Structure formats: C-alpha cells, structure tokens
Amino acid sequence: MSTVFQVLAFVGMSYGWFTWFVWKRKKHMDHMLGMISGMAMGMMIGLITGLLFGAVYQGDLYTSTIWGMILAGSLGFLFGVPLSILCTIEGTLSGIMAGMMGAMLGEMVPADKVKPLLFLFLLFYTAILLLLTKLIVSRGGQDAETKKWVFSIHNPILPAALLVGVFFWYQSIPFAFHIIEKGETTLEVVKLVAVDFSYKPSEIYIKKGTPTKVTFKNEGNVEHDFELVSDEDILIQTTSSTNHQHGKTAAKKVHLHAKPGETATVVLKATAAGTYQFYCTIPGHKESGMVGRITFL
Ligand SMILES: [Cu+2]
C-alpha cells in the first residue's frame, strides 16, 4: 500500500473514532474542551495531510494548499457541528490554517526530511488524541456500557502500546515520494506527463552537469514514449526502462516508454548545453502533436 494511502487511512480512522467518541459524550463536553478538541483535530490533520500533499504535489503549491485546506477545514467543521458554533468555527479555521501551513512545509522541506517530520506530527497527533480521550473520560464522559474499556484507558500501558504501535507501523511504510539515489540527496526532479496526444509541459529545462531525475508518466489511454536525440553525450545513471541497469552509460539518445497509467524514469546528466526536440516515436503521434523542447543550460 502506498504511503499516502496508509497515512490517510490512519488519520481517517482515528478521526472517525475520536469524533464518534466525542459526539457520544457531548453533554459532558464544556465549550473549552470542545474547542480544544476541535482545534487539535483541525490543526493536526491539517499539518499531516498538508505536509503529505505538499510532498506529493511538490512544485505545485496551489494544488497541495487547496487540498490541504479543503480536507482539514471540512473535517474540523464536521467535528464541531454537533457540539457548538464555537467548536465549529475553531475546528474549521484551525483546519484551513494548518492545511495551508502543512502544504507549504511539504513544498519547502527537502524530500528526505518529509519522513521524519511526518513521523513527529503523527506521533504528536496520536499522543494528543490519547490525552484528550483521557481528559474527556475523567470529566465523567463514561457511561455504563463503556465502563469496561474505561478501565483500560486509565491503564498507562494502553496509550504507550498505541504510541509504540504507531512508531513501528510508521517505520514499515515504504517511502517513495522521490527515489533518492544513495549519496544524491539533492537530485533535481523533472516531471513530464504524456496525454493523448501531447506532453505536459512541452518545454523542459535541465541544468547541465546536474544529475536530474526525469519521470515520464503516461496519463493517456494508449502507450506513449519519450525520445530525445542529443548532439552531445548524456550520462544515464539509472533508468527504469532497462530493468534498473545501474552504473553510468553515456549515450546520445534517451528513450522512455510507458503504457497507459505507467511511469518510466531516468536519472541523467547532460554534459553540454543545447536545445533539442523530444517526441513520441509511436507512429502518428509526433504528427498529432507529441513533440516538445528540452533545453540543457
Ligand atoms: Cu505517443
């Protein structure tokens, strides 16, 4: 399962559970407790999902910010509605603000720092949920049917076990926002998307002498490729199209092929400046507009 899916599932399930828990005990919740709970939910979910979106949509701050704000804002809003107007306002505003801040953070931090940062947020979020749960229970939020598990929530082993559980679950997540080659934590990334029948973007710039990862994603309904013929050698460090052949090879031609929905990648280094055309070699596609321009500068 993908990282994004796992983290979103964890956040979604814990949000669902905590919201249900609070709604069931709303007569025991005073304004302050409700507002703090709403703020904590909006704030933490906003930071986590915002950071996640910021990292996934890196280079597209608009998309990540909008999604972070919409998701966390509406979850904060929903949480507060049955409680009070104050909770609703607090939850919504916290969600919107934190969704925006998380997205900016995801955009700014280097790809290899996203994992530890997200880990801190998730642990913090889990700890806050547990503390609030304990607080609500101790204020008389239990009723006869929950007496049994109330016993265990006061048992310090349960929250500790949950935190340790989150810790180990998190360690097991495959992290693949960007493939970071060993010793190359500062890899430039160029994302190229093929649709039927054009490239987005159709103009690419790559700094010569800098290892750059080009990801070629086919979002069309038929297969497409990417071919570039250069006058000067291009060093190809790794490519997905030849079964992960490692080691450097020099070539004047770069070729990536992707079936619909697939992504092909290459890590290359241009040795000289120049502007070249790239195109799709599948018959008829170039003529239909699958051409673009790449500039090494
Ligand atoms: Cu094509």
Task: Determine the distance separating the centroid of ligand 1 and the alpha carbon of 235, expressed in angstroms.
Answer: 24
Task: Determine the distance separating the centroid of ligand 1 and the alpha carbon of 198, expressed in angstroms.
Answer: 8
Q: CA 213 → CA 43, 47, 80, distances in Å?
A: 34, 28, 44
**How high is the pLDDT of residue 180?**
38
Task: Determine the distance separating the centroid of ligand 1 and the alpha carbon of 264, expressed in angstroms.
Answer: 14
**How high is the pLDDT of residue 184?**
43
Task: Determine the distance separating the centroid of ligand 1 and the alpha carbon of 256, expressed in angstroms.
Answer: 11
Look up residue 118 and give its two tokens: 């997200």
DSSP assignment letter at 74: H
Question: Which residue positions in the chain have pLDDT lower than 70?
Answer: 1-2, 140-157, 173-186, 238-248
**How high is the pLDDT of residue 99?**
95
Task: Determine the distance separating the centroid of ligand 1 and the alpha carbon of 283, expressed in angstroms.
Answer: 8
**How high is the pLDDT of residue 259?**
93
**How high is the pLDDT of residue 133?**
86
Nearest to 100 by CA among 72, 59, 122: 72
Has this prediction a pTM greater than 0.85?
no
Q: Per DSSP, which regions of the chain are E strands?
A: 188-195, 198-200, 203-206, 212-218, 224-239, 249-258, 263-270, 274-279, 291-296
**How high is the pLDDT of residue 209?**
82
User: Tell me: the pLDDT tens digits for 185-200?
Assistant: 457 788 899 999 899 8
State the Cα–Cα distance between residues 231 and 175, nearest whole angstrom: 37
Q: Please tell me the CATH code under which domain 188-296 is placed.
A: 2.60.40.420
**How high is the pLDDT of residue 97?**
96
Nearest to 281 by CA among 261, 254, 260: 254
Task: Determine the distance separating the centroid of ligand 1 and the alpha carbon of 220, expressed in angstroms.
Answer: 9
Q: Who surrounds ion ligand 1 at CB < 5 A?
A: 224, 280, 282, 285, 290
Task: Determine the distance separating the centroid of ligand 1 and the alpha carbon of 257, expressed in angstroms.
Answer: 9
Task: Determine the distance separating the centroid of ligand 1 and the alpha carbon of 221, expressed in angstroms.
Answer: 10
State the Cα–Cα distance between residues 215 and 230, nearest whole angstrom: 19
The residues spanned by each domain of the chain are 3-172, 188-296
Task: Determine the distance separating the centroid of ligand 1 and the alpha carbon of 222, expressed in angstroms.
Answer: 7
